[in-house]
A and B are shown apart, each in its own frame.
Chain A
Amino acid sequence: MTSTVPLETGVRRVLLHVGTPKTGTSYLQDVLFRNRDLLREHGILYPADRFDGHFLAALDLMRLTWGGLETEAVGAWDRLAAEVRDWPHTSIISHEILSTASPTQIDRALTSFGDGVEVHLILSVRDLVRQVPAEWQENVKHRSLVSYTHFLEMIRDPARDTRIGSWFWGAQEIPDILDRWGAILPPEQVHLVTVPRPGAAPDELWRRFSGTFGLDGIDLDLTPERANPSLGVPETALLRLINKRVTSVVAPPDYRPLVRELLAHQTLSRRTKSARLGLPPATHEWVQELSRTWADEIQKRGYDVVGDLADLIGQPATTFTDPDTAPASDLLPASLDAIKALLVEGSRLRESEARLVRELDETRVELELARRSPAEKTVQAMQTHRSGRAALTAYRRLRRR
């Protein structure tokens, strides 16, 4: 595939990938991060010193809190922008939560790259048939207690008064994201990468990304190491029930490693044979109609489309498994896997605690030894030898006298 972003040298260029969520962004960011040295040799800067560097920069830009992670984000956007300004060739910035940025924040971001830079906006998009259930799952993986039915009601409310509705459309309404991010860019500098329909070749999305970002011909390590895996219906239903029990007693900094990472990503996502979440039949028409409107609108605007706008018109599955009414028997196997994972983690932590206690005790002993007075040190040293003990005995007899 040929590059859709012109890559002639001598031009400072920023490829700004702002989402949307659940469009293969974690994989893309992982590949870019792990290959950043190689990319640099090819004149492409991926300015990050940790895999979630651009996530932190986005939090900083948007002043978003994220379960305590935001405290690691102080000044991250300015540092990122400074690296971009100093790089004479192409820089890539990628994070999906940037899709929700406000016009003022976008203005600040674009200004921060300095003068004389050519900004290309890249938006990867997927059909709503897959995005709606995926967004609900993401909510559940972020402590939400909301049922799928209620979630659908909230996102269908035109007022978008709820936090969920407001965030969903901020991250998913493609024409609005393009209005916000692309308002001051010529249409040829706005690139829309569509996620292929189910059944496409497994590497098709990467081919689209690679062409758009100008990565073709670079021998990148594409081994998948980090992804944001999806859950099945009973697994998501179980996670929501767990949330009901734990969100009021487990603080966000503990929830993230224990529930989101250990339970959801490392345990429940491995259960790949369970039913996948889709759209309830009552929403099919609404979603199809909305998707067609968006595709028409994008067509009219003349953006560079990588893939096919028809990819945006998803095909709902003919069967639907409702996660809100998942029977206990369906939840049981997943529950047992969850208990097992937590017990293994508990054992590991106990082992770690015992090791720390041992280390602490040893340190205390060493501290006490170091704190001894010269007299104590002398007495203890004398007690280790026969002659010393005899001398001590004589000294004590003398003192008593």
Chain B
Amino acid sequence: MSVHHTDPSPGADRAWGWVAHLRGGGTTPWHAWAGGAEPTARVLPGAQQLELLRRINIAESSDEPHRGRSHLSTRLADRVVTAAAPGRGKPDLPLVGVGPSAYGPLPVDPSLLPADELIRVATSVLAEDVVALGVPAPARQLPRSWRRDVRVVGNPLEAAHLRAYVVGRRPPSRKRAAVLVVGGPLDQMLADVWSRRCFERGSGAWLEWLRFWQQRGELPPRIDLPAVAARQLESHRGVRVVLDSSALPELLRVRRIRPPTRPGADAAELARRIATVVGLLVPSEVRAALMTETLLPRMPATDTPPVALPDEHRAWVGAAAHRMARQLRCAGYPVVGDPDSVLPLESSGSGASVAQGAASSELVLELAVRMLVDQTWKATKTEGSR
């Protein structure tokens, strides 16, 4: 298209100089920057994009001694400065001191931007990475027909983990298959189902999601164990609820079962935000596969504990757990383990890093920057058979 050129605004050369500095791996904050340069694009990147790039450069330079910009880093820098900040947050913000403008959002000092604004940009780039990796081909398994047909449902995080132990068996046929409804303490099941949702099609934030179920007076369908069992009984004969994980190896006829890995609150929150952007890039069914099969197994481990139930939710969760225990005690199907095992654990398990049960934005940003800098996570192989 034909372009109408206008004179650059005062201070723009300083901004373009900073852009060049950051694209070259520089870490100088905007307020300390003094150099200038010619424009290299039609549009000056927003403060969010530029500050994120500076944070990446800082992390990169502390990761290993700076030896000049690699080709990969230059490409990453270009992607970051042109990345759209998804969702309804702030618009791309102008840098303070670039030029007087009576209109538009107020210019900012990028070093003062809240972490959330930088996370928005980071998730845009990471979502593109996840989409580029694609959905892995299903692992080929030799059929192990001597094992029982079994269907595992219930707590989705545990069920998905246990399904890996039954891969290769004949597909469970209706009626003939045994059904194991796996569960545990309700507070942990809530944390698990939310964490799992973050790696499927996304979710509301942890506290907002908890409030949704509190106000509806219901439990998420997958962890309402009596309801799950009742549904399964309509089409299967051997339904049992398993609350004692030590019984699982025998029930699944395997020697031993490793405990499932629970994503930290920061990893789950970052995945939740990435899932939103992935949903803008691919159809819904592909999003779920990308999040579960591509991102989840590759997500870098962190020291942050999983999300925990905040104190204000203990009362309703406790009441729901007592109700569930009563229903399981009166159920006509076998329950492996003590029905009271669904009662919430006493300790919330949250530390300073997960105030109010959720990860702080700073922790989430730290993880996002780490994934942008150290891209070895992309090469991590997906979990295969055991």
Contacts and interface: CB of A to CB of B under 8 A. Distances in A.
Interface of A: 59-60, 62-65, 70-71, 73-74, 100, 102-107, 110-111, 113-119, 158-160, 163, 166-167, 169-170, 173, 175-176, 179-180, 183-186, 189, 248-249, 251, 297
* Majority DSSP secondary structure for residues of B touching A: loop
Given A104-B46, A113-B1, A118-B2, A63 B101 contact: no
B45 A104 contact: yes
A60 B280 contact: yes
A184 B283 contact: no
Nearest to B216: A249
Contact of B103 (A60, A116, A179): A179
A64 B44 contact: no
A118 B2 CA distance: 7
Given A63-B124, A113-B1, A176 B43 contact: no
A184 B280 contact: no
7 contacts: A65-B86, A100-B91, A102-B46, A102-B85, A183-B6, A184-B3, A249-B216
Contacts of A113: 1
Contacts of A105: 84
A102 B1 contact: no
Given A65-B279, A71-B279, A74-B281, 16 more contacts: A63-B84, A64-B86, A64-B88, A65-B87, A105-B84, A114-B1, A118-B2, A166-B89, A166-B90, A166-B105, A170-B105, A179-B103, A189-B4, A248-B212, A297-B102, A297-B103
Contacts of B4: 184-186, 189
Most buried by B among A71, A173, A185, A297: A71
Nearest to B81: A104
A71 B103 contact: no
Contacts of A118: 1-2
Most buried by B among A73, A106, A166: A166
A74 B1 contact: no
Nearest to A159: B106
B35 to A, nearest CB: 23
B328 interface: no
Contact of B42 (A64, A100, A184): A184
Interface residues of B, number: 43
B102 A175 contact: yes
A217 to B, nearest CB: 27
Contacts of B89: 163, 166
A63 B92 CA distance: 13
B86 A110 contact: no
A170 B277 CA distance: 21
B103 A175 contact: yes
Given A103-B43, A248-B212, A179 B101 contact: yes
Given A102-B85, A104-B82, A158 B106 contact: yes
B71 to A, nearest CB: 23
B1 A179 contact: no
A106 B3 CA distance: 13
B92 A102 contact: yes
A372 B102 CA distance: 78
A169 B105 contact: yes
A170 B89 CA distance: 11
